[in-house]
Amino acid sequence: MKNTLLKAIYESGKIILENFGGTFRIESKDSVSNLVTEVDKKSEDAIIQIIIRDFPGHSLLSEEIGAIDSDSGMKWIIDPIDGTINYAHAIPLCCVSIGIEKNKEIVMGAVYNPMSGELFFAEKGQGAFLNDKAISVSEESNFNKSLLVTGFPYNTSKNPNNPVGVFANFLLQDIPIRRLGSAALDICWTACGRFDGFWEYNLNAWDVAAGFLIIKEAGGVVTDFKGEEYSVYKKEILASNGKIHNEMMAVIRSAVKD
């Protein structure tokens, strides 16, 4: 499976890189800010063809085609381009993300940004890696010195969880926050210690499946906003180095309560 995963992710990366900064068709999905390009679809098709060739009985869950189910207990969870808005505007912060689920547990995952050449990879129980070098979350324990990253849902104005209020509460702590535009990279950059914590609403399994395993294997903590066990099928994620997790959760919960 690792060989197939890497074949698929590098083939996808090749397509993404070849078309980066070029001219291609762009469409809106359920909102004007939720885009899909023809490159997303080419990338997805290439990934799926490789997986089907090697593992024809496995299930698939991919952003553009949805679910193809089987009773194998194995599922490949695919985001052909995470950060499509960035990609559509020739911003080199995007990636392809593929996670593998076995009996409802993520057991392998990779996130690849072909523009930077960075490949994040993890296998359950084997640690997390960036281009074959072991990575770990940061050691920052002082919440006031932390660097955070987040993203906003497409329906920010209608979201009942007050994402703007949460963001404002963090800003009022005088804590620097970045927004990359790719949840998969947000998680991986937290996993390798560039960021100390990440939170976001309304993500889908394909956004987080690979990153979830990568940060867990890098020593991070991942929960929902109440501190309860996280699933990639939940709509809220809080991921951190573990040392500032409770403080982040308190800020989020206070804004949601307000």
Query: Above pLDDT 70, what percent of the chain?
Result: 90
Mean of the per-residue pLDDT values of the chain: 91
Q: Are residues 129 and 167 in the same domain?
A: no
Q: What CATH number should be reported for the domain holding residue 162? A: 3.40.190.80
Give 168-171's long-range contacts (Cβ < 8 A, gap of 24+).
168/255, 169/251, 169/252, 169/254, 169/255, 170/251
The rounded distance, in Å, linking the Cα atoms of 243 and 241 is 6
Indicate which residue of 81, 98, 106, 214 is catalytic. 81
Q: What CATH number should be reported for the domain holding residue 48? A: 3.30.540.10
- 223: annotated active-site residue: no
Q: Are residues 117 and 221 in the same domain?
A: no
Residue 255's pLDDT is 80
- 207: annotated active-site residue: yes
Give the count of domains, the chain.
2
Domain hosting 249: range is 143-257
Q: Are residues 35 and 53 in the same domain?
A: yes
Q: Are residues 126 and 167 in the same domain?
A: no
Q: What tens digit of pLDDT does each residue of 53-103 get? A: 999 999 999 988 888 888 899 999 999 999 999 998 999 999 999 999 999
Q: What tens digit of pLDDT does each residue of 206-236 get? A: 999 999 999 999 999 999 999 999 999 999 9
Q: Dig out the tokens for 171 from the structure.
A: 């800003």
Q: What tens digit of pLDDT does each residue of 177-217 get? A: 999 999 999 999 999 999 999 999 889 999 999 999 999 99
Q: Are residues 82 and 196 in the same domain?
A: no
Query: Above pLDDT 90, what percent of the chain?
Result: 74
Q: Which domain-ending residue is among 134, 163, 186?
A: 134
The rounded distance, in Å, linking the Cα atoms of 139 and 58 is 39
Indicate which residue of 40, 140, 196, 207 is catalytic. 207
Backbone angles phi, psi at 77, to 5 degrees: -110, 115
- 258: annotated active-site residue: no
Residue 143: DSSP 8-state: G
Q: Which residue in 257, 225, 227, 243 sits closest to 144, CA to CA?
A: 243
Indicate which residue of 15, 48, 77, 79 is catalytic. 79
Predicted structure pTM score: 0.92
- Strand-pair partners of 35: 28
Indicate which residue of 44, 63, 196, 217 is catalytic. 63
**73: CB partners within 8 A, 6+ apart:** 102, 103
Q: Are residues 150 and 94 in the same domain?
A: no
- 45: annotated active-site residue: no
Indicate which residue of 40, 82, 200, 236 is catalytic. 82
